[in-house]
Chains A and B, each alone.
Chain A
Amino acid sequence: MNPDASTIAAGAPIEVDLSPVAEGQDIKVFWRGKPIYISHRTKKQIDEARAVNVASLPDPQSDEARVKSGHEQWLVVIGICTHLGCIPIAHEGNYDGFFCPCHGSQYDSSGRIRQGPAPANLPVPPYQFVSDTKIQIG
């Protein structure tokens, strides 16, 4: 009952052009049926994400480990709440990040869980920069 061959094939990597996304904006693309948030973070968001004491987080992870160095302004996360799978809303909640409407989990501007029932940070999908304005997800 695992995914069949066509489902797996349809899950091949996709390329996304980042040039139209202005600072402070984000886009949602679908990969393997999952929504992926790509946010162009503002300076303030980056600073906030880096200012927290990593050890105090429920799922400790530094912001540096969640973005690609040299491209700090880009946050790429799978937009699926790690609690029970709803899609969090971007730019909401108390941490300048994401807010899940289902059971009230809140994520910060690095996609890390800060408050609510979700146990883990929003996962970062496998991706790399093919050029400065283009990434490949998968």
Chain B
Amino acid sequence: MSGPSDYQPSNPALQWIERRLPIIGLVHSSFVVYPTPRNLNYWWTFGAILSFMLGMQILTGVILAMHYTPHADLAFKSVELLVRDVNYGWLLRNMHACGASMFFFAVYVHMLRGLYYGSYKEPREVLWILGVIIYLLMMATGFMGYVLPWGQMSFWGATVITNLFSAIPYVGESIVTLLWGGYSVGNPTLNRFFSLHYLLPFVIAGVVVLHVWALHVAGQNNPDGVEPKTEKDTVPFTPHATIKDGFGVACFMLLYAWFIFYMPNYLGDADNYIPANPGVTPPHIVPEWYYLPFYAILRSIPNKLAGVIGMFSAIIILCFLPWLDAARTKSSKYRPLAKQFFWIFVAVCILLGYLGAQPPEGIYVIAGRVLTFCYFAYFLIVLPLLSRIEKPRPVPNSISEAILAKSGKAVASVAVMLVAAGALFFGSLQDARANEGSDKPPGNKWSFAGPFGHYDRGTLQRGLKVYKEVCSSCHGLSYIAFRNLAEAGGPGYSVAQAAAFASDYKVKDGPNDAGDMFERPGRPADYFPSPFPNEQAARAANGGAAPPDLSLITKARSYGRGFPMFIVDFFTQYQEQGPDYVSAVLQGFEDKVPEGVTIPEGSYYNKYFPGHAIKMPKPLSDGQVTYDDGSPTTVAQYSKDVTTFLMWTAEPHMEARKRMGFQVFIFLIIFAGLMYFTKKKVWADSH
């Protein structure tokens, strides 16, 4: 993309094409001989990582769209069935959902790299602004994608975000109606979001082409911020940059695979496994993690319009960065003060993100205001001021000189990073205090936990028995079909056993030729019948609280892990909040109500239920269900069995997921290793 190419293919057929459409020459000049600064570090591989992620999202997204139904009544179910029944549907969905997070993670690194090394400065202003546009489009796409599964967080996230526009004076309300296509978020909203969610990635791809074009006109910036002057300063893109990017992508895929195969729900919200309900707002609405800093800014400004303006300007301000920071020196490597403030700014963003996830009360509100001020101060006060008062260190004359003198060490920034760590630690203390007094479910040893987790067949079979004899009188299991009982990774029944199990049930079918509904024995393809014909009946029969469907309950319930733990969980792969909670509630009934807690009539005291007043009477008692394999018939054993069973109903392909994860990891580690040594060889005489 940098001017006409003099590349001439040797193959006559290619020559014929080249004379009519010089596309091979274009690729050759842009991605083969294109000179790239030889001092680029690994932060520069994030451009390639981002292109990889965009391709990944489009690819998985197109296939997902083939199985998804954009309708308010069907969307949630279609996503669940996609995960359960489509070949590798669980993999596609995890790749797409975790992919969004990884995409944002990469884009944040990419942006901060640009910020640190001054990549937005002359002559790269347009390049930078195009990047901000891509980021904005990504945010819109990510938001609309999050709405599509039509869970509780999808619905209420959509409500809150679309309502942001109602803050605009005069025209706000009509804009919101236009976004909704109705009087509230509903089916028309879902339809248009689906359409736009499919469209925008291709718009992003288009802007990415412009972004790369602008990049190849202005040339890449580099860690020393001096433009390449001679041949000695650059290396050809291929093989040098390609192989380095390849290695970067391989490493990034390791992280990506960690989420896909081991922590698919780590970054999601348990509430999104509850189907959207326009009548109930979840007690604590949080957006996806990548919007949290902006959400914190929105909430810390006590006026609606000002809050919305603050939030949007936090992003728009990036467009003006090239003019706010007028310093001539590009790279913060040579700007002692700018470097410090950069790390402070990173800490501010992380802390804002942390606050965005906390309830808006007390200390969090005040901290949010202080940090919001710091965020804007960085752009509006610190950067303009620094460019006037800071004395930068001398910049090397050329890139090759910089490489020779490679000895500069970043000591000062370590101090600032310590400050940032201290700030996080302080946050953790606050958090620990806030969590005192609430009963956290005790942890359990689950056979399905960890990287090699698997379901114990006996436990699943006993759990099914408990469900059938106890839970099923009130709770449905509507995403599970009888055939699932005979599938690999499940309770391990034979097809004949599953069919026999099914035939014990009466299933409503019809209408027959006479137009009547009739009952027949269940078949393997039928789903577990629900105990109540509809939600209203379930509610009426249970004192106003409808018993939830249990198919997804272990994924739809969770509890906060608090600051230090949620980071530890990432490494220990702890994903069992749901099962821990479910089994704790099953065993948490106590006859003696502690002082200070009042339980309304028709409710029961439960130690672990939020608010302690649960409508469900104590469901299990010792000896209630008989086991024929000699397992103890105690409440503890029952809850363990039924919780394991419900974990399986929530995630029937978990064993396949973890097994494949192991294979993928072996492959990726070998692949990344090979890439690394190839890269070393290629770069051997370039350093």
> Which A residues are within 8 Å of any B CB, using their own CB?
1-4, 7, 11, 28, 30, 32-35, 80, 82-87, 100-104, 117-119
Contact = CB atoms under 8 A, between A and B. Distances in A.
Contact of B279 (A28, A100, A102): A28
A114 B556 CA distance: 34
B186 A33 contact: yes
A7 B192 CA distance: 15
A33 B184 contact: yes
B186 A85 contact: no
B163 A101 contact: no
B278 interface: yes
A35 B185 CA distance: 12
Question: What's the interface size class on B, roughly?
Answer: 20 to 34
B164 A1 contact: no
B184 A102 contact: no
Interface in B246-299: 278-285, 299
Contact of B188 (A7, A11, A86): A7
Nearest to B365: A104
Nearest to B361: A104
A33 B299 contact: no
Nearest to B284: A101
B304 A119 contact: yes
A85 B279 contact: no
Contacts of A2: 177-178, 181
Given A103-B299, A104-B361, A117-B299, A1 B181 contact: yes
Contacts, number: 79
A100 B346 CA distance: 32
A98 B281 CA distance: 13
A4 to B, nearest CB: 7
A86 B160 contact: yes
Contacts of A103: 299, 360
Interface string B345-369: 0000000000000001100000000
B182 A33 contact: yes
Nearest to B158: A85
Contact of B160 (A11, A32, A84): A84
A34 B281 CA distance: 13
Contacts of B304: 82-84, 117-119
A94 to B, nearest CB: 13
B184 to A, nearest CB: 4
B170 interface: no
A119 B177 CA distance: 19
A103 to B, nearest CB: 5
B302 interface: yes
Nearest to A86: B281
Contacts of A102: 156, 160, 281, 285
A85 B282 CA distance: 12
Nearest to A11: B183
B494 interface: no
B147 to A, nearest CB: 14
A21 to B, nearest CB: 15
A121 to B, nearest CB: 13
B196 to A, nearest CB: 11
Given A84-B163, A87-B281, A102-B160, A7 B299 contact: no
Contact of A4 (B160, B181, B361): B181
B159 A30 contact: no
Given A7-B188, A84-B304, 9 more contacts: A4-B181, A30-B278, A34-B184, A80-B184, A85-B160, A86-B160, A102-B285, A103-B360, A119-B305
A34 B183 contact: yes
A86 B40 CA distance: 48
Contacts of A7: 181-183, 188
Contacts of B183: 3, 7, 11, 32-34
Interface string B167-183: 00000000001101111
Contacts of A117: 299, 302-304, 307
B595 to A, nearest CB: 23
A104 B360 CA distance: 7
Nearest to B160: A84
Closest 5 CB pairs of A and B: A33-B184, A32-B183, A85-B163, A84-B160, A84-B163
Contacts of A84: 159-160, 163-164, 304
A117 B181 CA distance: 26
A1 B159 contact: no
A33 B278 contact: yes
Contacts of A100: 281
A3 B181 contact: yes
A33 B184 CA distance: 6
Nearest to A101: B283
Interface in B297-326: 299, 302-305, 307
